[in-house]
Each structure stands twice: as C-alpha cells, then as structure tokens.
Structure 1
Amino acid sequence: MSQFNELVRNGLWANNPALVQLLGLCPLLAVTSSVVNALGLGLATLLVLMGSNMSVSLIRHHVTSNVRLPAFVMIIAAFVTCADLLMQAYTFELHQILGIFIPLIVTNCAILGRADAFASRNPILPSATDGLMMGLGFAGVLVVLGSLRELFGQGTLFADMDLLLGPVAAGWQITVFPNYEFLFLILPPGAFFATGLLIALKNVIDDRLERRRRLRQADQPRESRRVRVTGTIR
C-alpha cells in the first residue's frame, strides 16, 4: 500500500508532470482557453498514458534495449490513433477545435518518460496506477488552467460542454461576468501567466508544508526528553 500511496502522491502533487516536471507544456498552454478543451485533451492524454504504461509493462521482458524506445513510441502512437479516431467519431466538433494537439500527444515527453522510467521496470498493476495518477495530475492542471482562463478571460464557466458530453451538458454554462472579455488571458501569453501562478502557488504550499514538518520533527525530541525526565522522577 505504501507504494501505491507514493504513486498517488507523486502523480497528483509531488511529481506532477505539468507543475513539477514541466512536461507537455505545448498543449497545456495552447488548448486551455476553456474547460471543455482542457477536459477533452486531458481525457485523451489519460487514456494514452494508462494504455501505454500497461502495454509497456506487459512486454518489458521481451524487448531488447536496442529497440526499446522505438517500440515504446509505436505503442504510444497506436493508443494516440485510437484516441484520435474515438474523438472523431463521438466528439467531432471538439476534435476540430483541438486539431493537431491530439496527434501531438505522441510527442508528449510525460508519456514516453513514464513508459521508460517506470512502466518498463514494474509490473502491470503499479504501472497502470502510475499512468492513472500521472494522467489525472496532468488533466487536473489542464482543467484548473482552463477554468481560470475561461472565467477571467470570457466571464463564463463550462461553456460548450455539449461538445464533449453531448446534449445533456448543453445547459451547463455559467455566466459569471456578463458581456465581459479579457483578451490577455484568452491568448497564449495569458496561459504562460496563469501557469506561472499555479506553479508559484504549489511552491508556496510545499514550503509551508515543509516548515510544518520540520517543526514537528524539532518538537519530537523535546517531547521524548520530557517523557524520560518524568519517568526518572517517578
């Protein structure tokens, strides 16, 4: 259980591919102008990451080091093709909006990095967990960034969600600021700015957690000395 807890912590926070490893920044900055775009790309990346990790783990004992990376790239490309075809079939309009960034998942260093660094060295269950958590961590950052840019750039939330979830989500749009538009956050410079804020916020939280941990460690010897002294008096 400690291994799985560590995988969850690394994927969602401590080793997040977007905020810590800074991988996959091209799609992260390009398509997060709205929640629906971010969620669509995040789910596609999650599917590819889990599938490639599981497949690489299954063949890890049957692939020589000479062809390891080409084999991994072929596996990733196969899953990206599946994700691309599924989006064309069921979410065609969203697929048209995301455009080239769906096929570019093949070149996402986060996916190849997890396949080579983790899945090729571990059994299928930990590899699937690693892929799931890393995918959720990346998708979570996409959605948070998309929410911030949509809210403060266009004044809405969950606009055009029917492009991904169908007619059931047609009425999900929330208009927070009517007749509002802030072009800076809609354009790529706003994506850089918002991403920097998220990274800074994570660093601040990590620093505070580290300070609390050090304070607890410093208090533990004092408590143990008090217990020893009290026991001696008794």
Structure 2
Amino acid sequence: MSKEIIKNSIWKQNAGLVQVLGMCPVLVVSSNIVNGVSLGLATSLVMLVSGAAIAAIRQFVPNELRSPIFILIIAALVTVVDLMFNAYAHGLYVVLGIFIPLITTNCIVLARAEAFASRNSVWDSALDGFFMGIGLTMVLAVLGGMRELVGKGTLLSGIDLVFGPAAKAWTIYIIPADMHYQFLLAILPPGAFIGLGLLIAGKTAMDKKAEAKAQRARLPVAVATH
C-alpha cells in the first residue's frame, strides 16, 4: 500500500504534471532551483502534517463543516511555516513573498485533504500528503533548473538566502559571470509555460513508451496460451 501511494503521488498523479494543480507557485516561483525547492518543501511539510491531522479527526467532523475546518487546520500550519521562514531564512522569505501564505489556498493541499485524508488512515494520509508535495517539489526543481540554466547560465543562484553568505560560493556558473549572460524569455512567465509544457510532454512520452513495452512483454504470454 505504501509503495503504491508513493508511486501514485510522485508519478501517476503528479500534482504539477498530471493533475496540473497549484499553477500559480509552479509558474511564478520556479525562476530558479532554490526558490522552487524551498516552496515545494514547505508545501510538503504542510501537506504531511495537515493530512495526518485531518485523518485523525475525520470521524468527528460534520460533513457541513468539513471545508472550513480543513482550511483552518491548513492555515494554522501555513502560519507556522511562514513564521519559520521569516525567522530563519528572512532573505528567502522576502523573495517568496505572498506565495508562502498562499499555500493555504493551494488547490493541491485542499484537494488531497478532501479526496484522501478525509477517507484514509493517519499514516496513509501523511504519506500521501508528503509525497504529493515531494512530487510537486521535483517538478519545481527541474523546471527551476531549466529556467535558471537557460535564462541566467547558472544553477543554485540564491542558495545563500538559505544557508547564509558563505554559501554564495556554491552557485554554479555554467556561463562565466563576467559575460553577463541573460535570456529573458526563460526567466519571465512565458518561459515557465514553455518549460512546463516540455515537462508534461516528456512525461507523456515516457508513459506511452513504458505502456508499449509492457504490451510487448505480455504478447508472447498471450500467444503461448493459444
């Protein structure tokens, strides 16, 4: 059951590539790897704890009050995450801005609360919430890396906002900094749409290839039985 939940969360029903939910943070925050991964991990933490909490109290929540109570739980957790960002990574907190509080209204978080946590055990709900968030984080990381690499010629720019000024040396310059390279299309919103479209197309192609391979593997068995 756990393996199926993980596979389903990360690949089969990936929030960014299959369900296409939470597009505001995916398209806006994915300008580089650091921003995307930071918001993705924050979302994963909220989904893990909110999933477990909602599953624990689901039997005591009247149907008429489900949505307000679920949103209240999620909002409380997001407030904690928001304060933690402000206290321990203030530079990143300023960069991410309104998108940390907006986790409260993110379609992914509320959708999993309604569709999964309200119907399953605490452990399964926590696992589903966390890996749904990790699936989104992976999309944000890859999309952020693509946009940052094409747009600025770097990787891990802004890492010092998380780990302090000393981490500025961790930035990887694929194109030398003294060239002042910049490709605005990749950095601006159109680049996010193009990059996400390429990722969705790539996943679809991989799924079709895997399905065709599975069908070829089943064919000799079918022929043998006849």
Give the TM interval when normalised to the shorter protein.
over 0.9
Q: Paired residues, what number?
A: 223
**C-alpha distance in 1, partners of 2:169/2:148?**
17
Matched with 1:166 is: 164
**C-alpha distance in 2, partners of 1:75/1:189?**
35
Amino acid corresponding to residue 42 of structure 2 in structure 1:
A
The alpha-carbon deviation at position 169 of structure 1 amounts to 2.7
3-state SS, counterpart of residue 59 of structure 2: coil
Paired residues for 1:7-46 under 5 Å: 7-46=5-44
**C-alpha distance in 1, partners of 2:221/2:165?**
57
TM-score, length-scaled by structure 2: 0.96
3-state SS, counterpart of residue 118 of structure 2: helix
Indicate yes or no: 2:207 matched with 1:209.
Answer: no
Amino acid corresponding to residue 123 of structure 2 in structure 1:
L
Compared CA separation, residues 167 and 223, structure 1 to 2 (3 A): farther
Matched with 1:96 is: 94
Paired residues for 1:130-169 under 5 Å: 130-167=128-165, 169=167
- Which of 3, 21, 36 does residue 5 from structure 1 map onto? 3
Structure 2 segments unaligned to the other structure (5+ residues): none
Q: For residues 34-85 of structure 1, what are the alpha-carbon distances to aligned partners after superposition, in whole Å with 9 as ceiling and x for unaligned? A: 1111111111111111111011011011101010111000011011101100
**C-alpha distance in 1, partners of 2:166/2:225?**
60
The alpha-carbon deviation at position 170 of structure 1 amounts to 2.7
**C-alpha distance in 2, partners of 1:80/1:95?**
13
Amino acid corresponding to residue 3 of structure 2 in structure 1:
N
**C-alpha distance in 1, partners of 2:203/2:167?**
31
Matched with 2:80 is: 82
- Of 173-182 and 192-201, deviating more is 173-182
**C-alpha distance in 1, partners of 2:47/2:165?**
28
Matched with 2:46 is: 48
3-state SS, counterpart of residue 16 of structure 1: coil
3-state SS, counterpart of residue 23 of structure 1: coil
Percent identity between the two aligned chains? 48
Structure 1 segments unaligned to the other structure (5+ residues): 226-234
TM-score, length-scaled by structure 1: 0.93
Amino acid corresponding to residue 122 of structure 1 in structure 2:
N
The alpha-carbon deviation at position 33 of structure 1 amounts to 0.7
